[in-house]
Amino acid sequence: MRVYVDLSFCNPIAIHNTRLLFAYAHMLPPVPRISAVPLPTALILLVKMWAKGRGIADASNGGLSSYAYSLLVIRFLQSELGLQLPNLQHNAGEWGKKGNLKGSAGVFLVPSVSSSDPFHVSCQNAYFEHPLWGKNEAIVPQERKMNEAMDAAESETEFDEIVSAGLFGWGPAGGKGKCESAFITPESVTPSLSVLFCRFFLFVSREFDWGARVICIRSGG
């Protein structure tokens, strides 16, 4: 079995980006009568499997990357009536104010290394806030050891193990709630996975204006 991974060196913004996608992917309850996988996660995996089966999931060959498909699905769920995932970055409006480097309301700057120029380091705003887990937090060197110990000592659920192992202390295992309270429950009845799969293609093929807009989960573009 082949396992594909992305490697990133000296670029901590990638960890915060993973946290953000993880938060979005676990915001809705699991797929009814299918598995314990949260609905956004299941839809993202289904779309990626479809794209891979048709040979359009490789950015190096002209297709979209796995990350791009994740953004497409999240943006679709943000706009889908009855679900409408909230914008976790909506309070990041302070971004852009000069001299605001210590992180006041809505600003959490993290160094980011440019792929084209490894000697150029800029700062990216990594602020977001989950309605139940709280605000994104800084990563300190000792968190990895603490979480490994926590994972070994109190692995209450598989969900908690994933958070503490992969997100370095942020999320339910970091003390911001438990697995059973981690989901946002829509007011209406959640559509089936098959219905959302079909609605996704309708969204990207007919409803989204590709000539005038770009996909952006932060601004709702």
Per-residue pLDDT of the chain (221 residues; tens, 9 = 90+): 777 777 777 777 888 888 889 889 888 888 776 677 888 999 999 999 999 999 998 888 888 999 999 999 999 999 988 888 888 887 765 544 443 444 455 667 777 766 566 566 677 778 888 877 778 877 655 545 555 555 555 444 444 444 443 455 566 554 444 444 456 666 566 788 899 999 999 999 999 888 888 888 987 66
Query: How far is Cα 58 from Cα 52, in angstroms, rounded to an integer?
Result: 8
User: Which token pair is 17?
Assistant: 């980006």
Task: Give kind and range of the element (H or E) at residue 159.
Answer: helix 158-166
DSSP secondary structure code for residue 144 in this structure: H
Cα 137 to Cα 123: distance, rounded to the nearest angstrom: 16
pTM: 0.75
CA 133 to centroid of chain Cα atoms: 14
CB 34 within 8 Å of CB 193: yes
Contact 132, 177 (CB under 8 A): yes
